[in-house]
Amino acid sequence: MDKYNFTVGEKFNNYKAVDFLRAVKISKEIIQRLKFGGILVNGVLLNNVNTRLKCGDVVTLKLPEDEQNPYVVPVKGELEILYEDDYLLAVNKPKGMLTHASKSNKAPSLDGIVCGYFDKPFTFRAINRLDRDTSGVMLIAKDMVSACFLGEAMKRGEIKKTYTALVVGKPQKDHFIIDAPIARQSTDGMKRIVSPSGKPSLSECFFVRALENGLSLVDVLLHTGRTHQIRVHLSHIGHPLYADRLYGTAILDKTYFLHAKSLTLTHPFTSQSITLTAPINIDF
């Protein structure tokens, strides 16, 4: 969207414009960026964000056109779209693809393919994060206001994420919860461990089915979003992801299978509940 309208209700009568915008969850960064030429009241450009508003006033945010990130090269590529409207885009990220472009990796990345999907400059605003070897639902905001609202919803835990993992062994229970704090193993490394000094971390797990060779599929609903949380937690209880070299056992020419199966959210502008689901293709 290129503009958003907000009507001043009675409870916000005589609020300063800046305070009203903060009350409707517009970030300080957006207000700062738009305060010189991007905020209108009843169609008239607002010159001072400390101006008092009246009940019934319509505050309009006029968004600037996106600028192409010079480090992201738009490319035409295959993109599996799961959902799209004026505010959101959801795609199924393939396993083995980087979410963000990297100088050390010349293969197409998701941000480049998404930017290449649009016919104009586009800023890639990913709401959730997936590692290179993790596939599944990626949610992308189409503008800074949508990104602001969705990012805050993610921080508040209002966006529910369910993953499917291929694990070693068969869990003893069909439904179990792993409540174990996670911390960095070292300050300069990427590996995480379960530690009393770590941040609270909660994973709710559901046994799906047993497969051949002593492997199983497990669905994991994340109640927190720590780095490598699923991999750390499942390894902690003795069921590491198959072929996970960091938290399990490395297997030649294999990488772990972890798939962002579904993502459920309340649409920030229609208030409808939406569940986005990515088809699973298990290849091990």
Rounded Cα distance, 182 and 172, in Å:
23
What whole-number distance in Å separates Cα of residue 205 and Cα of residue 217? 10
* Residue 86 known to be catalytic: no
Residues 19, 131, 133, 219: which is the catalytic one?
131
Quote the CA–CA distance of 96 and 131 in Å, as a whole number.
9
Whether residue 79 contacts residue 110, with contact meaning beta carbons closer than 8 Å, is answered with no
CA–CA separation, 19 and 108 (whole Å):
43
The DSSP output letter for 13 is: T
Buried b (16+ CB within 10 A) or exposed e, 226-244: bebbbbbbbbbbebbbbbb
The answer to whether the beta carbons of residues 113 and 77 sit under 8 Å apart is yes
CA-only gyration radius of the chain, Å: 22
For the annotated catalytic residues, the residue numbers are 131
